[in-house]
Structure 1
Amino acid sequence: MKLNLKFTSNPIMKLLLGAMFISGTITNASADTILHAFNWKYSDVTLQAKNIAQAGYKKVLVSPPLKSSGKEWWARYQPQDIRLIDSPIGNKEDLQALILALKKEGVDVYADIVLNHMANESWKRDDLNYPGSEVLAQYSANSEYIKKQTLFSDLSKGLFSSADFHPPGCITNYEDPGDVQYWRLCGGDNDKGLPDLDPSDYVVQQQRTYLQALKNMGVKGFRIDAVKHMSDYQVSQVFTPEIIAGMHVFGEVITTGGKGESNYHKFLEPYLNNTNHGAYDFPLFASIRSAFSYNGSMSLLHDPEAYGQALPNNRAITFTITHDIPTNDGFRYQIMDPINENLAYAYILGRDGGTPLIYSDALPDNEDKDNGRWENVWNRDYMVKMISFHNEMKGKQMTTLYSDKCMLIFQREKNGLVGINKCAEERSYTIDTYKTEFNWNVAYKDKLSDHSETITSRYHKLSIPGKTARMFVL
């Protein structure tokens, strides 16, 4: 049984899987933090609504709302039908309850969207009718239940047939955008791949209707999965100004760096040049990983955007880990040491610009390779305190004061000061307070400890213990 096609262990394929290319009216990213409730049941998000808001999150990204089967996390990315919501993580009723519960707490809901392909069911049937006859029979046998989960259309009939797909054939050149956008994502062993939808007027209209139905339910943002594999034409047709009005739309264009890196120029740069929407800031992530590496320097984070190694602040979705990294063998080399990951969070939550995304998963034991490392990270004490700093500093301009191999120090006007020391030993820097704006004779209190700093003279020595971040607020 070959289902896990999209998430192959082939590192080259994995490097290129997720992408985004969206056209339409601009929807700027904000400083609000997103909780990526990856693979959480919708009912579990609902139960945690108040706690999510109290932790400081303003948005929650939920896993794909559509018809899918299979308990594996990757099965959520293999749609059987987009006309209803019914999967092991929840149904339409569950999602509606989730949206209402979070709205009550002042938190928006974003939905992960899969439009490029349908589920690979070649292991059990030869046709390309979606949903297949087996699923249609289930609809008929449970008509009252299915009616409650329906977003649009008559579910007594099929949605797509063979005429709605590109011809079968696997991508052979992941460096060629045309090849990537036309052919199928395939695994090994003569796998037939994920059936790739052709952007006919009919297909585009179904996808528009799907997005509008989610928007009507109260969804406020879309993360678009595998958009690199969709043609520019399809994207421009689906994501109309009407669909994206008032929405935060973003996705991932995976690269291993920014300016000067091949995939950045072939895939991410065109997206940046042709849209004004958000994107995962993989260039910044590469800078973060390099800075926190053994021989790396924190000076890489002094002003990475100036060198094309970070996205513009108003378009960036910043992160220290995404769902692909721990769940796929081809990306696991990007997992950071736990201490460095926490320090990196202090950086993305301390800095100005970008929309931080905090990954927290709910994986079954047989799929969790890291013993629950990220299961409750969203609500841990240090994370809540860093988000509190982030929210308090919203709109406060950032000025980098100093950086070297071990340390990075920056301020958020006179209201905040962040110091990060990645090295094992204590490091110090003397701040010239005549050149910067600080309040004297009042305590700047560290959000992450009981330590405080009080400036009483022009030159103030700031010392940061080894492997520590300080996030001071006035």
Structure 2
Amino acid sequence: MRRSHPHRRGGRLRAVLASGALITAGVVPLTLAATAGTAHAAMNNSDVIANLFMWNWKSVGNECSTVLGPSGYGGVQVAPPQDSTTAPGHPWWEIYQPVDYNLTSRMGNEAQFAAMVSSCRAAGVKVYVDAVINHMTGQGSSSYGGVTNYSKYNYPGLYSSADFHNYPADCPESDDQIHDWNNFTEVTKCELSDLSDLRTESDYVRTEIAGYLNKLIGYGVSGFRVDAAKHIGQTDLAAIESKLNTTADGTAPYIAQEVALGSSGQLAPSAFEGTGSLLGFDYADDLAQQFNGNIANLKTFGSSWGLLPSDKELVFVENHDTERDGSTLSYKSGATNTLATEFELAWGYGTPEVYAGFDFNGRDDSPPADGNGFVTDTACGSGWECTDRITGVNHLVAWHNHTAGQSVANWYDDGSNLIAFSRGNAGWIAINNEGSAQTKTFATGLAAGTYCDIVHGAVSGGSCTGPTVTVDGSGNASVTVPAKDSVAFDSTDLVTGGSASPTPTPTPTASTNPTGGVTETFTVAGAPSSAPIYLTGSIAALSDWAPASAIPMTQNGAYWTVTVSGLPVSTAVQYKYIARDSSGNVTWEPGGNMALTTASSGSAAVSDVWTGSGATASPSAGATPTPSASTAGTVSETFKENASTVLGQNIYVVGSIPALGNWNTGSAVLLSSATYPVWAGTLSLPSGTAFEYKYIKKDGSGNVTWESGANRTATSPASGSATLNDSWK
């Protein structure tokens, strides 16, 4: 939006915008006190925030439900929701000029905002709001909410001229504008870009601001990006924060402050560490310089570079201000921007935020909107840049969550623009910022086996939908990294050669683990998210129905997976999935037992869908759970579809029963491309059940193409297994 003072960092001139930078995200929870001295707690592993800049509320809610939640994002940042002024051409910065605190904005009305927050929270995604509390308007005579009786220093029913700073009582400059950007009084009591500056030392003003923020908290908002925090000052910020309510998460709100670089003393970013986290302008600046130069330098990227402390910094590759002033990378940087975002997620410094905005030519351009300026629904690829959906970025979120807490190890660089590193023995990534493919043998730090490259595919039914990487017994792998691309996998992406679970599974006894035992990969979708999921079953290798010894599964987006080795060959097995919390409380999957017959050699895989909500009675000690007559019996149905795809597309099956997603494309079952062009997957379906189904294609942005013609129909067998052989139509 409007720029604050220019400053130099690293010998390069950059203008940092003081209004409309980025926010919160897994910022640190702020323990409030009456003074600026506060304590901050650490975030959990699911700390990645998607900054969906100016997406309307309907689109944000849908993204939370279908993309962010299933992919492991922990939060979403949304644009300022209060009513704002209108200007000719509807430039994006209108939203940073409040008229009142009613929730009627370019992105939707109050009911739509509340519905969005509810949808996101239901998907496990916290909502963080961009809060404009330093100022009101600098222009305009009408608003999106229909207010027409306001002026720059008068907002009937809210603020009057006495509630704003002015010359000479407050601001020492006769034009009320900031002239000395290193003068604390001018920066906090003069006007930023001619915007009417609120008298935030007034208890009345503080109470009105806190009332607005508490209204948002009441709808389920978890925290705030404080716009232009530098221009409010620490004392006033702390006083406002002390008036805020506890969030629905049971904590104080998260706070992330926009404090531009370039000043010292009370105006330095470090001076604001007591009132919240800081936006990572330093991080974004330095990252852009390396990805436009030599990424081998990133080996030491962190506090030694002078960055803000990791636990105080909300980091990003770009935000809506910096992409417009050209100080950082942006969607216009193409593959370089994607690689930098993947590095951000993999490196583990600060709380990472993934930015997804809209196309622009001029710096003031509006997002896609109707004739009245109201933002239309997000259509990825049609005026919108959905970085959060890019396959590598999207899959690196789960990689980031899985590797959290592991140190960087096994660093490699070629002295220029090819780097690779692991996070302990939990995950490995290689990034090639060069103009040609590079083939090297890397030390990965991971156990021997074949892993799915999650930048270009996903694990499904024990197979990989994209390329794989083989790690030898020494932890080394020969990998070709395409130009301007990356390769990554973690210990949950193992498709052959070991267990996909990072936690050792119970070892079966000799009587049930004969020489020549087989391997079975179990995958379940739709399980409850309240507790970790485990596998148990009717043989010793599956814990003999003992929940305490059940096999832990690994979460990968919406799926839980584990590969169990040493199962007896050609043996009928019954099994179930359970949720078990840290106190040992067990919730059994309802319905009848699952059933399979293990392979006669080699390996196999099954993909299941949790059969409902609630719990069934646990079996008595040593007894097998007995399925009810109405639900007894599941069978294996293999779906095979001959279909050609383009790079980035995958084939899914979806249909009329829960195991096939109930026609919800977000719950469709991904098929394996291991035998391309035939895509295949085996599911457990209720026996003797008629169902309808179709195949769909999905690309990396989530776009869906249905095959043509009428629905396909089939009836699962009464027992045993069956295969459906189809071709795209």
Shared fold (TM-score greater than 0.5)?
Answer: yes
What does residue 2 of structure 2 align with? 7
Tell me which residue corresponds to 1:66. Answer: 82
Highest Rg: 1 or 2?
Answer: 2
Moved more, 456-465 or 28-37: 456-465
Higher RCO by CA contacts (8 Å cutoff, separation 6 or greater): 1
| Amino acid of the structure 2 residue aligned with 1:324 | D
Instruction: Write the deviation string for residues 359-401 of structure 1: whole angstroms up to 9, x where unpaired.
Output: 11257995369x8675322223333222232233234333352
Residues 1:447 and 2:465 are matched in the alignment: no
Q: Matched residues in 1 for 2:410 and 2:437: separation?
A: 20
Which residue is equivalent to 2:283? 284
Q: How is 1:313-332 mapped onto 2 (pairs within 5 angstroms)?
A: 313-326=310-323, 328=324, 330-331=325-326
Tell me how far 1:134 sits from its aligned partner: 3.0
CA contact (8 A) 1:415 1:473 kept: yes
The 1:456/1:393 distance shift into structure 2, 3 A limit, reads same
Q: Distance in 1 between matches of 2:231 and 2:147?
A: 27
TM-score normalised by the chain length of structure 1: 0.79
2:230–2:260 Cα contact (<8 Å) kept: no
Structural mapping, 1:307-318, within 5 Å? 307-318=304-315
Q: What are the equivalent positions in structure 2 for 1:422-441 lying under 5 Å apart?
A: 422-427=433-438, 431=442, 437-440=445-448
Q: Say which SS state the counterpart of residue 246 (structure 1) adopts.
A: coil
1:247 Cα deviation after fit: 2.2
Which residue matches 1:252? 258
- C-alpha distance in 1 between matches for 2:470 and 2:264: 44
Supply the distance in 1 between the matched residues of 2:195 and 2:470 (Cα, whole angstroms).
Answer: 57
- Quote the Cα distance in structure 2 between the aligned partners of 1:235 and 1:132: 30
Cα displacement (A) at 1:223: 0.7
The aligned runs of 1:4-403 (5 Å cut-off) are: 6-8=1-3, 14-15=15-16, 17-18=18-19, 24-31=38-45, 32-52=47-67, 53-70=69-86, 71-82=90-101, 84-121=102-139, 134-135=148-149, 158-167=157-166, 169-186=176-193, 193-198=194-199, 199-240=201-242, 243=245, 245-255=251-261, 266-272=267-273, 274-275=274-275, 277-293=276-292, 296-326=293-323, 328=324, 330-331=325-326, 334-335=329-330, 337-362=333-358, 366-367=365-366, 374-399=384-409, 401-403=411-413
Displacement of 1:316 after TM fit? 2.4
The question of whether the paired residues in 2 share the 8 Å contact of 1:447 and 1:470 is answered with yes
Q: Distance in 1 between matches of 2:343 and 2:354?
A: 13
8 A Cα contact 2:210 2:243, kept in partner = no
Unaligned runs of 5+ in 2: 8-13, 24-29, 31-35, 168-175, 369-380, 457-466, 492-729
Structure 1 residue 414, shift from structure 2 partner:
1.2
| Amino acid in the other structure paired with 2:452 | K
Question: Which consecutive unaligned segments of at least 5 residues does structure 1 have?
Answer: 1-5, 126-130, 137-155, 187-192, 256-260
Residue aligned with 1:49, SS:
helix
Query: Which stretch of the first structure deviates more once superposed, 198-207 or 43-52?
Result: 43-52
**Which ranges of 4 or more aligned residues in structure 1 deviate by more than 6 Å?**
19-22
The DSSP-based 3-state class of the residue aligned with 2:429 is: strand
Aligned length: 422
2-structure distance, mates of 1:79, 1:268: 25
Contact 1:66/1:86 (8 A) holds in 2: yes
Q: Write the distance in 2 (CA, Å) between the matches of 1:45 and 1:246.
A: 24
Structure 1 distance, partners of 2:296, 2:360, is: 39
- Measured in 2, the distance between the counterparts of 1:209 and 1:45 equals 24
The alpha-carbon deviation at position 235 of structure 1 amounts to 0.8
Matched residue type, 2:316: F
- What amino acid sits opposite 2:486 in the alignment? A
**2:617 corresponds to which residue?**
none
Find the aligned partners of 1:384 and 1:287 in 2 and give their Cα distance: 23
Distance 1:278 1:92, change over 3 A: same
Structure 1 residues 400 and 201, CA gap change in structure 2 (3 angstroms): farther
Deviation at 1:88, TM superposition (A): 2.2
Could you say what secondary structure the match of 2:137 adopts?
coil
- State how far apart, in whole Å, the 1-side matches of 2:226 and 2:4 are: 22
Give the drift of 1:432: 5.8
* More strand per residue: 2
Query: Where do 1:400-419 residues align within 5 Å?
Result: 401-403=411-413, 404-419=415-430
In structure 1, give the amino acid aligned to 2:489: F
Give the SS at the match of 1:356: strand
2:517 corresponding residue in structure 1: none
Letter in 2 for 1:301: L
**How far has the Cα of 1:323 moved from its partner?**
1.0
Q: Residues 242, 134 of structure 1: CA spacing in aligned structure 2 closer, same or farther, 3 A cutoff?
A: closer
Offset at 1:470? 1.4
Query: 1:473 aligns to what?
Result: 490
Q: Any conservation in 1 of the 2:454–2:487 contact (CA below 8 Å)?
A: yes
For residues 206 and 456 of structure 1, what CA distance do their matches in structure 2 show?
Answer: 64
Bigger drift between 394-403 and 65-74 goes to: 394-403
TM-aligned CA deviation for residue 241 of structure 1: 7.6
Shift in alpha-carbon separation, 1:160–1:363, aligned structure 2, 3 A: farther
CA contact (8 A) 1:56 1:388 kept: yes
Counterpart residue identity of residue 466, structure 1: A
Tell me which amino acid in the other structure corresponds to 1:246: A
Cα deviation, residue 424, structure 1: 2.0
C-alpha displacement of 1:265: 9.4
CA-atom RMSD, angstroms?
3.4
Residue-by-residue CA offset, 1:379-431 (whole Å, 9 max, x unaligned): 23333222232233234333352333222222122121111121223446655
2:360 and 2:289 map into 1 onto residues whose CA distance is 31
Secondary structure at the counterpart of residue 61 of structure 1: strand
Residues 199-249 of structure 1: CA distance to partner in whole angstroms, max 9, x if unpaired?
211111111222222112110111110101112221111011854743221
How many percent of aligned residue pairs carry the same amino acid? 25
Distance 1:98 1:16, change over 3 A: closer
After TM superposition, give the deviation of residue 473 of structure 1 in Å: 1.8
Q: What CA distance in whole angstroms lies between the structure 2 residues aligned with 1:393 and 1:281?
A: 22
Partner SS for 1:111? strand
Contact 1:446 1:470 in 2 (8 A): yes
Q: What amino acid sits opposite 2:270 in the alignment?
A: E
